[in-house]
Amino acid sequence: MTIFIIIAVVGLLIYFGTRKKADQTFVNNRQSSNSSMTNGQTNLTRHKFQSKISNLPFPDRIDTIVWHIKSIDKGLANGDLELTNLSYAKLIESIRQQNLTENGIFEDHLQTIRKEYEEFRAYYGLDYPEQFLPPSQRQKTQTASTIKSSPKPTVTSNNSKLKTLLSELGSNGHAEYPLLRKEYAVTSGMPYTDFSGWVIEQLKTEDYNSLYAFVKEYYLGRDNDTYNEQELKKTFEIFLTKNFKELFSNIDEQAIFEIQAFFILKRGIDDFNREFWIAEDKEAELLCKILSVYSFEIVPNSFEPLIKKANNFLREMRKDVDFWKEYKNYKIEELQNEYKLKTTNGLEKKLKQINSGERLHFFDFATVYSYRKFWNGDSSYKTRSYGINELDSVKKISELGIFNVVNDINAIPEITSKGELKETAEKAGFEIKKSWTMDKIFEFLLNSELGQAFLQEFVKGKQILALKDEYRTDMTNIFKHQEKMKRTVDLITMM
C-alpha cells in the first residue's frame, strides 16, 4: 500500500511540474511575441499561416503574388510582424484583382486567404493597413494630396453603343469574349483590335455609361457576378475622379484622353499594383511612346504625392527583391518644367493622326535608337496586349506618307523568319542545310541567278515598308524626347 502511495505522489509531482513548466513556456512565448518571436514559435507560426497559401494556383500576376508570399515567409521567419501584415494585405488585394480578371473563379481562394489573414491579425492584435483597404473603403482614409480630384460621377451600364461596336466586330473576336482575340487564351486579356479611338470618343462626350458598359465587358466578360460588377463600378467611378490635367500647365487635351484610355485598356483603373508599371520594359514605357509625339509643360509640385508613392514602393520592394535595388528614387528636382519636342519635317504631326495603339504599332518598327530599314507590319506582344489589328493598322500607317512601299529583296532578312524562308526555298528545289542561319540562307540564294529569281518572287505580294529618309532625323529627336520624359511618365502612372 505504501508503495502505491509513493508512486501516486511522485506521479502528481511530475504532472504538476510538467504543467507548471508548460504554462511558464506558454507565458514566455506570448510575452516574447510582442517584441520578437522565438525560433520555435516562428516555425509554428510559419506552418500555421502558410499551409493554405503555397498550394493555391494563380496563373496571372504570378511575379507579384510570389513576391508577396516570399515577404510573408521572410516576415514570419524574422519576427517582422509589420512586414508580414503589409504583405498579407498586398497579397489579398492582388488576389482580389486576379479574381476580378478571372470572373470570380478564385472567390473561394480569396475567402480562404482573407480568413487566414484575419486569424493572423487576431493572433497579434494588428489592424488592417489603411493603404490596402478595398477600393470602396480606401477613399475614406486617403490622405490629402496636392492633386485636386474631379467630381465623382455615378454610372450605369448603357449597352446601346457597345452592341453597335460588337456588331461591327462580327465574329472576328473570341466567340464568348468578342472584345478579345480568338487565337489567345481568354486569361491573357488580349484585345482584338485598338479600341483607344472608341474609348476616347466616349471620354470626350462624357458618355460614361456607354464607356462603363465597355469596361464591364472588357474586364469581366459575360460571366460576371453581382459582387464583381459592384466592385468594378466603384473602381471605375473613382478612376473618373483622377484629374490628370492637374499635373500639367500646358498640354494638348488629346494627350489627356490618351492617358485615360491607356489606363482603361491596360486594366489599370484600380490603384493597386500599378506601381509595377515603372519597371523596365513595362507599361510606363508604352505610355511614354504614346505621349512622345506631344510637347507639354508640367506643374512640378503636383507630382510630389506621386514621387512619394513611387519611392515608398521602391523602398518596400528593395527589402525583398534585388531587381529593384538598381532603381533610383524619384526627385522633384529632376523634373523639367517643359518637355518640348522639336522636329524638322513634322513626323509627330503625322503620328498624332493615328490612334494610340496604332502609334505603338509604329514604334514596334522604331524603338529607341534602333529601327530597321524595312518593316512588314509585324507587332510586339506588348502592343498586342494594348490592342491592335495589324492589317488595319499598317494600312492607316502607310497612308501617312512616311513610308515608301518597296519590293527590295534585301528586305527579306528583316521581314521574314528563317523557318519561312527555308521551307519556301526547299519547296522551290533549293537544298538548304538545317544548321544554316538566316544570313547564310539569304547569302546562298543571292549568289545565283536562280536564287535571285526566287527571292524576287518571294517578295512579290508582300507589303514592305521603308521609312523615308527625310523622317530619320525626326525619329532621332523623338527618341531623345522619350528619354527625357520617361521618368516623368513613370510618375504619371502612379496616379
Question: How many Å is the Cα radius of gyration of the chain?
Answer: 29
Q: What is the mean pLDDT of residues 337-362?
A: 97
Q: What is the mean pLDDT of residues 370-374?
A: 76
As a whole number of angstroms, the distance between CA 259 and CA 265 comes to 10
* DSSP H/E element including 164: helix 160-169
Cβ atoms < 10 Å from Cβ of 204? 11
DSSP letter at 419 equals H
Q: What is the grid cell recorded at 336?
A: 523639367
**Residues near 361 by Cβ (< 8 Å), separated by ≥ 6?**
194, 377, 379, 383, 388, 390, 393, 394, 397
Cβ atoms < 10 Å from Cβ of 467? 21
- What pLDDT sits at residue 222? 67
- Higher-confidence residue of 417 and 94: namely 417
**Residues near 283 by Cβ (< 8 Å), separated by ≥ 6?**
262, 266, 268, 277, 493
* DSSP H/E element including 250: strand 248-250
Residues 181-211 have pLDDT tens digits of 999 888 888 999 999 999 999 999 999 999 9
Q: What is the grid cell recorded at 185?
A: 487564351
As a whole number of angstroms, the distance between CA 6 and CA 295 comes to 96
**At 147, phi and psi to the nearest 5?**
-95, 115
Burial class of residue 112, CB neighbours in 10 A (0-12, 13-18, 19+): middle
- What pLDDT sits at residue 467? 92
**Residues near 490 by Cβ (< 8 Å), separated by ≥ 6?**
277, 278, 284, 310, 330
Cβ atoms < 10 Å from Cβ of 217? 20
Burial class of residue 30, CB neighbours in 10 A (0-12, 13-18, 19+): exposed
The pTM of the whole model exceeds 0.85: no
As a whole number of angstroms, the distance between CA 159 and CA 214 comes to 8
As a whole number of angstroms, the distance between CA 281 and CA 259 comes to 18
Half-sphere exposure of 143 (CA within 13 A, CB side): 8
Tell me the sheet residues that pair with 466. Answer: 374, 404
As a whole number of angstroms, the distance between CA 191 and CA 378 comes to 16
As a whole number of angstroms, the distance between CA 174 and CA 212 comes to 20
As a whole number of angstroms, the distance between CA 303 and CA 487 comes to 11
Burial class of residue 11, CB neighbours in 10 A (0-12, 13-18, 19+): exposed
* Separation of CA 218 from chain center: 15
Is 292 in contact with 481 (CB distance < 8 Å)? Answer: yes
Domain ranges of the chain: 1-31, 36-132, 367-471
* pLDDT band, residue 373 (cuts 50/70/90): confident
Reduced to 3 states (helix: H, G, I; strand: E, B; else coil), residue 281 is coil
DSSP letter at 56 equals -
Q: What is the grid cell recorded at 420?
A: 519561312
- What pLDDT sits at residue 104? 63
Q: What is the mean pLDDT of residues 149-164?
A: 87
**At 191, phi and psi to the nearest 5?**
-65, 150
Residues 376-402 have pLDDT tens digits of 999 999 999 999 999 999 999 999 999
Residues 157-175 have pLDDT tens digits of 889 999 999 999 998 988 8
Reduced to 3 states (helix: H, G, I; strand: E, B; else coil), residue 344 is coil
As a whole number of angstroms, the distance between CA 259 and CA 256 comes to 5
The proportion of the chain whose per-residue pLDDT surpasses 90, expressed as a percent, equals 54
- Higher-confidence residue of 336 and 273: namely 336
- What pLDDT sits at residue 131? 56
Q: What is the mean pLDDT of residues 87-112?
A: 71
Taken as a whole, the chain contains a residue count of: 495
Is 403 in contact with 411 (CB distance < 8 Å)? Answer: no
As a whole number of angstroms, the distance between CA 223 and CA 225 comes to 7
Return the closest-CA partner of residue 249 out of 346, 377, 161, 335.
Answer: 335
How far from 205 is each of 30, 58, 160, 257, 300, CA to CA, in Å?
61, 38, 15, 11, 29
Residues 426-461 have pLDDT tens digits of 999 999 999 999 999 999 999 999 999 999 999 987
Rounded to the nearest integer, the mean pLDDT of the chain is 82
Return the closest-CA partner of residue 33 out of 48, 15, 17, 50.
Answer: 48
- What pLDDT sits at residue 274? 87
